[in-house]
Chain A
Amino acid sequence: AQSVTQLGSHVSVSEGALVLLRCNYSSSVPPYLFWYVQYPNQGLQLLLKYTSAATLVKGINGFEAEFKKSETSFHLTKPSAHMSDAAEYFCAVSPNNAGNMLTFGGGTRLMVKP
């Protein structure tokens, strides 16, 4: 069975500071990993995905994530936080990319202070 664990249910940063949201995965086969963002009362929007190509993945809104097999991690980063980045972020894993279900982590709520 595959799973992801997000360390820290709440993360608070100042505007302009580095954003780091942590995600570790557990998988017996090479996983496909995703980061989704959810704004209040909205659906989930895909930020980026890892599909066994480049280990450094660039996504939308200036976010990127690095797949590290040795650390079983897929942390999400952004060099400079904006107020508009405040949202809930979910890391997710699927066994492959061919239409399989997603298993989500518990989510991390990012708060950005002015």
Chain B
Amino acid sequence: AAGVIQSPRHLIKEKRETATLKCYPIPRHDTVYWYQQGPGQDPQFLISFYEKMQSDKGSIPDRFSAQQFSDYHSELNMSSLELGDSALYFCASSQTGVGASEQYFGPGTRLTVT
């Protein structure tokens, strides 16, 4: 079965640079979520999109922005990177209106800021 695809899997950036993370949801899933997991921490919700509109917003810094495109893939744009942004970034997708719409997670993008 198709899973959530995230690219790149690993990314190394320097402070003050920008980064773009991409997420391709499971086919027919209409909702995408972004989570940030710092070292030894639980995942923290950043932002979500339903049918290309922002649906929920969590602890996402103003330096970050995201969007969902017409093909339902999503991109997380991160600017003015800081050392503290080093983390594992997960994308998850779900299909609303079909039973209990659990979220399916991708393998994550490991971002290292040096």
Chain A residues within CB distance 8 Å of chain B = 32, 34, 36, 42-46, 49, 51, 90, 97-107
Neighbour of A105 across the interface among B33, B42, B99, B105, CB < 8 A? B42
List, sorted by A's number, 22 A–B pairs whose CB atoms are closer than 8 Å: A32-B100, A34-B102, A42-B107, A42-B108, A44-B90, A44-B105, A46-B102, A46-B103, A49-B100, A51-B100, A90-B43, A97-B99, A98-B96, A98-B97, A99-B94, A100-B56, A101-B48, A101-B56, A101-B58, A102-B43, A104-B44, A106-B41
Given contacts A43-B105, A45-B105, A46-B102, contact A101 B45 (CB under 8 A): yes
The binding surface of chain A is classed by DSSP as loop
Residues of B within 8 A of A104 (CB): 42-44
Q: Is the CB of B90 within 8 A of A99?
A: no
- B107 touching A46, Cβ below 8 Å: no
Q: Are B48 and A99 in contact (CB under 8 A)?
A: yes
